[in-house]
Amino acid sequence: MWLSKLGEIPLTFHRDLPDDADIKTVTVKQEPTGKWYAILGVETPDGPPEKPENPERCVGIDVGILKYAHDTDGTAVESIDLSDERERLERAQRDLSRKEDGSANWEKQRRVVAERHAELKNKRRDFLHKLSNYYAREYDFVSVEDLDAKGLVELPGNSRNRAGAAWGTFLRMLEYKCEREGTHFVAVNPRGTTKECASCGVSTEKPLWVREHSCPACGFKADRDANAAWNILSRGVKKRLGAGRSEETPVEAALPVDTSVSAKRVVETGSLTLKREPSGER
């Protein structure tokens, strides 16, 4: 970069510039850490390019409670372990409660509590940023459940609030990152995605501890979360097709899956019918 009065300055790019980007503004700023950053404001001709919808790059994500996320490609993402951070925070809060209200020591400890809070929050945000980046970059079409207020009610108070907050943050991050990457994002109705059979559509009661989906109607067997992820993907595809997308050629969504599920689906745009062809264990 060349700046008047300073001359040439070497830059390290954190992200690649699109070839057709027009640099409109440059802001130079110093962070509290002492590092200098140049923030480039760029304009591209038509905004982010729309990715072609490759059926192999469509994904449904089940934001679970025990695992963090399970998708239709068989990727299961464990939630991050925040127990150390949580313990440190609780310890700091206990210490604060022992200080005399409003004293200098209390004020000092109050700041420690604030720092512990920030640590926890940053670690969780960092995890959610990475996860949402992964989906927005790897896929052309992402379908995810909308926040399930009803499902969250089944959890005990504290973890309900935490799960709800993390879920909401994840959805927001995923949506804006998808927009940035030109990836189609759909949030679908979360009701019954776990109970419904991804193969035949029949709903069966399934308490939280039942980890396997085994359909009494058609015999289709799959991991509980994988089955839910398949339902989320097909709801997303339906929703998107229903949104009045003009399309002459049928979109085929016959997706390769992990070993535990092998439901295969063909979606035809014309009739919006969903053909379910389970070839899983029976």
Chain residues in the site for Zn ion (CB under 5 A)? 197, 199-200, 215, 217-218, 220
Q: Of 85, 140, 148, 225, which one is the catalytic site residue?
A: 225
Quick one: 143 or 231, whose CB is closer to Zn ion? 231
Structure tokens, 37: 């950053």
Active-site annotation holds for 145:
yes
Alpha-carbon dihedral 166, 172, 175, 181, rounded to 10 degrees: -90
Complex with Zn ion: residue 9 or 202, whichever CB lies closer: 202
In the complex, what is the shortest distance from the CB of residue 142 to Zn ion, in angstroms, rounded to a whole number?
A: 25
Smaller CB distance to Zn ion: residue 72 or 132?
Answer: 72
CA quadruple 148, 154, 157, 160: dihedral positive or negative? negative
Least distance CB 215 / Zn ion (angstroms)? 3
Looking at beta carbons only, is 7 or 216 nearer to Zn ion?
216
73 noted as active-site residue: no
DSSP 118: H
Which residue in the list 53, 140, 145, 175 is annotated as catalytic? 145
Minimum CB separation from Zn ion for residue 279, in Å? 13
Q: Which of 193, 188, 211, 190 is nearest to 203 (CA)?
A: 193
CB of 217 to Zn ion, least distance (A): 5
What Rg do the C-alpha atoms of the chain give, in angstroms? 24
Q: Which residues contact 121 (CB under 8 A, 6 or more apart)?
A: none
Active site (annotated) includes residue 258: no
Which residues, 6 or more positions from 60, have their beta carbon under 8 angstroms from its beta carbon? 71, 72, 143, 144, 229, 230, 231, 232, 233, 234, 236
Query: Cβ distance 53 to 61 under 8 Å?
Result: no
List, by residue number, the catalytic residues. 62, 145, 225
